[in-house]
Amino acid sequence: MKTTRIPGALCPSCGELIDAASNRGDAVPKPSDLSVCVFCGAALVFGDNLKLRAMTAEEFAALPDEVRDFIQTVRDQFVSKRRG
């Protein structure tokens, strides 16, 4: 797993500080890549300078089914871990 430091920003959904992104492969985040907040499970998008923003409902709906399903699976895992 590769972890990349990104400019610190507050999650637009829960307000937690996000300053890193992890990926199972060797990829590093780039603008327009998707992410999920590890604190609340919010679907996010990397913008310019790797600042995160909330994904709109329209953007989420436009994703392929398998990507939406994957985001939901990751979101569910993060949320269940937080409930511990």
Q: Give residue-wise pLDDT tens across range 22-61.
A: 888 888 899 999 999 988 889 999 999 888 999 999 999 9
pLDDT at position 84 is: 63
pLDDT at position 77 is: 85
Domain range enclosing 44: 2-83
Per the structure, the count of domains in the chain is 1
Torsion of CA 32, 57, 61, 29, to 10 degrees: 20
Nearest to 18 by CA among 4, 8, 27, 28: 8
Residue 80 to residue 77: CA distance in whole angstroms: 5
pLDDT at position 58 is: 96
